[in-house]
Amino acid sequence: MLTFLIKNKNPFGASVGLWLTGQSLMDLAPYIDDAIDQKLILPGGLIGADAPGNHDWGNILIDLAMLERHPQIATFADSGGVFIMALALVWGGFLPYKQYLNQS
């Protein structure tokens, strides 16, 4: 995303990258929320409960001693993703409008 802004001087491309970052956070939230139950299918095709120690977010939150806070962390990731996507949409929508005004 910073490459689009700094190196390529392409703010619209950066807004698309920001959108994808927000979407990624929203996609991450269910896996964070599943850290204790481990019922979701993991990227390797296994269910977390069937493969002890393979649930990345379970391991991360255990190592950080934050496993009991998984619902709040998942909500934060989801809400943060929504906010970032909305910000990217406003930014990406404003850029063509600004360009249109400069051509008039």
> What residues does each domain of the chain span?
23-103
In degrees to the nearest 10, what's the CA dihedral of 26, 29, 30, 32? Answer: 160
Task: Please give the pLDDT value at position 34.
Answer: 94
* pLDDT over 90 at 104, yes or no: no
pTM: 0.82
Write the single-letter amino acid at 52. P
Task: Give the whole-angstrom CA distance, residue 98 versus residue 53.
Answer: 51
pLDDT in tens, 37-95: 989 887 778 787 787 888 889 999 999 999 999 999 999 999 999 999 999 999 999 98
- Does 9 score more than 90 pLDDT? no
Tell me what the mean pLDDT of segment 11-34 comes to.
95
Is 54 within 8 Å of 46 (Cβ atoms)? Answer: yes
Tokens for 51, please give them.
């493969």
Closest listed residue to residue 17, CA positions, set 28, 6, 33, 31: 6
